[in-house]
Amino acid sequence: MIQTKRYKFETHMHTSEASACAKNTGAELVIAHIEAGYAGLIVTDHFFNGNTAIPGSLPWEERVNLFCKGYENAKKAAEPYSFHVFFGWEYAFNGTEFLTYGLDKTFLLSHPDMLSWTPEEYCYRVRKSGGFISHAHPFREAPYIPAIRLYPSLVDAVEVYNARNLKPYNDKALKYAKEHSLLQTAGSDTHHTGEIVGAGMEFFREITDIRDFIDAVRKGEFVICTGMTGKAPTA
């Protein structure tokens, strides 16, 4: 039987450079994922309206530059290896969080007013600009989430498997995605190297950039990889 090579990606992870809840740097997480057999990862640090490590008192440009350090350090650490690092972020609205892919630092620098956007305006503007949104862990229950808000017509995809979720939350997310014919993503929601449990998405071909990732998700050219589930996180 011919075995087809697959390329595993982590699609949801946080670095200590930009996320207050993370314990490892972008560079440390890259090496750990390489050792765990991954082909690449997407850095999705908490944005300024989430559990950010970036001081809110700084000018917008300085905040954005600091926010991107986790990704930039991860990308630099990956240079000697055949390992891909892409940029994204996790945007929040009072506990509701959107994994955002396909846009770059220029978009962030160009929109210093984005913290004032409603979820509806955020999703509209991101997607109009060519971005791709996956609703992160939509049914998670935790002290920092006062209410579950769903936006099936405003997002592209649903994170149907999150390794830090309890199983019932993931089951509800998968059912929700299927009911609304939404695309699916999966990730570990990694905050430190001890949370690399083999979860994520395996693609049937090498993924070379973030647009390639989005294209493969749209075409369903992947399988979801699950890892051990844990307690509902607090961050």
Query: Mind listing the pLDDT tens digit for each residue in 110-129?
Result: 999 999 999 999 999 999 99
Q: Is residue 78 part of a domain?
A: yes
Q: In degrees, to the nearest 5, what angle opens at C-alpha 119 toward C-alphas 87 and 150?
A: 100
Q: Is residue 234 part of a domain?
A: no
Q: Is residue 230 part of a domain?
A: no
Residue 94 belongs to domain with CATH number: 3.20.20.140
The boundaries of the domain holding residue 65 are 7-225
Q: Is residue 100 part of a domain?
A: yes
Write the pLDDT tens digit of every residue in 23-49. 999 999 999 999 999 999 999 999 999
Write the pLDDT tens digit of every residue in 169-184. 999 999 999 999 999 9
* Mean model confidence pLDDT for the chain: 94
DSSP 3-state assignment of 224?
Answer: strand
Helix 60-67 with 69-78: angle, nearest 10 deg: 30
Q: Is residue 2 part of a domain?
A: no
pTM of the complete model:
0.94
The pLDDT of residue 230 is 40
Distance CA 193, CA 33 (A): 8
The pLDDT of residue 233 is 36
Number of domains composing the chain: 1
Q: Burial, 81: exposed, middle or buried (Cβ in 10 Å; 0-12, 13-18, 19+)?
A: exposed
Residues in the chain: 235
The pLDDT of residue 44 is 98
The pLDDT of residue 235 is 37
The pLDDT of residue 4 is 75
Bridge partners of residue 201, in order along the sequence: 9, 224
Q: Is residue 231 part of a domain?
A: no
